[in-house]
Amino acid sequence: MSQQPSASDAPQPEFAGGEPRLVGRTRHTELTLDEIADLQPGLGRLMPDVSERYWILYYAAEGGNWKLAQYCVNQIRGLFRVGATTRPNMRRYLEAFGQGHLRAIEAALAQRDFAAFEIAYRKGIDAANAMHAATNHPEVIWQLPPEPPRHLYLGPVDAEQGSTPTP
């Protein structure tokens, strides 16, 4: 007859310096909560993704792919939320950019007004570069690449029918 495991058989927290040591396990390793926290991306890892989406955003709006342009804004906002969580000392910059520049960009996208979009977009570039300088990274000067990304279709898409053009 098999015995039921007792409470003393249950996994017990490990202790380090009198404090419980929380551990997560995968098939490959065991990580402490502190080690998992250290793996979370900082702005150095997030900003290249922001940069790519800001680049796509411009050319999607220019090409009339308004839905893709808005999707890029949404993705940037999500990346900013992660950055504000993992780097709380940068939260005010990320929130200011989102509440000011991204909001102005979204207003232009909603109106499908490329001229207003371009003004808001370029003000965003100037603000981002000023924020880089204010956060001790004046060497980071973002500029719009002269060519659109080639891996995405950036022209208008018939959203109602869900059809995509053949390149």
**pLDDT at residue 109 above 70?**
yes
Cα dist from 92 to 74, 96, 133, whole Å: 18, 6, 15
Domains, in order of start, for the chain: 43-134 (1.20.120)
What's the distance, CA 86 to chain centroid?
A: 12
Report the alpha-carbon distance of residue 93 to residue 106 in Å, rounded.
18
HSE on the CB side for 42, CA within 13 Å? Answer: 5
Question: What contacts 70, CB < 8 A, 6 or more positions away?
Answer: 106, 109
> Looking at residue 10, what is its pLDDT?
46
* pLDDT tens track for 41-60: 778 888 999 999 999 999 99
Give the confidence band of 13 by pLDDT, cuts at 50, 70, 90. Answer: low
Which H or E element spans position 90? Answer: none
Strands 30-32 and 23-25: antiparallel
This prediction has a pTM of 0.79
Which one has a higher pLDDT value, 18 or 122?
122
* pLDDT tens track for 47-101: 999 999 999 999 999 999 999 999 999 999 999 999 999 899 999 999 999 999 9
